[in-house]
């Protein structure tokens, strides 16, 4: 699943470790989500969206058009 997580993190000048701390996950989990190797759980997707004050759909793209 494509996502804007790396761009959003870079805009705030946060490291992967900083973002991981804010989300209560490992740095490796952040890396796996950013690179598309892992999709976040629904609760984690909600935490990410809340942290960036965006909707899940604004951050993640499942490739299907509405």
Question: Which whole number is the average pLDDT over 17-22?
Answer: 98
33 in Cβ contact with 6 (< 8 Å):
no
- State the total domains in the chain: 1
Residue 25 lies inside a defined structural domain of this protein: yes
Calpha distance 15→56 (Å, rounded): 21
Domain span at 13:
2-54
Residue 14 lies in a domain: yes
- Over 80: is that where the pLDDT of 43 sits? yes
Q: Is residue 60 part of a domain?
A: no
d(CA 63, CA 11): 24
Which pTM value belongs to this model? 0.91
| Residue 28, domain CATH | 1.10.260.40
Q: Which residues pair with 2 in a beta bridge?
A: 61
Q: Is residue 64 part of a domain?
A: no
Provide the β-strand partners of residue 61: 2
Residue 39 C-alpha from the chain's centroid: 9
């Amino acid at each position: 699943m494509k996502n804007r997580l790396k761009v959003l993190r870079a805009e705030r000048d946060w490291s992967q470790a900083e973002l991981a701390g804010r989300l209560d996950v490992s740095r490796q989990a952040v890396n796996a989500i950013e690179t598309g190797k892992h999709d976040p759980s629904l609760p984690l997707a909600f935490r990410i969206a809340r942290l960036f004050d965006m909707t899940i759909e604004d951050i993640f793209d499942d490739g299907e058009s509405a």
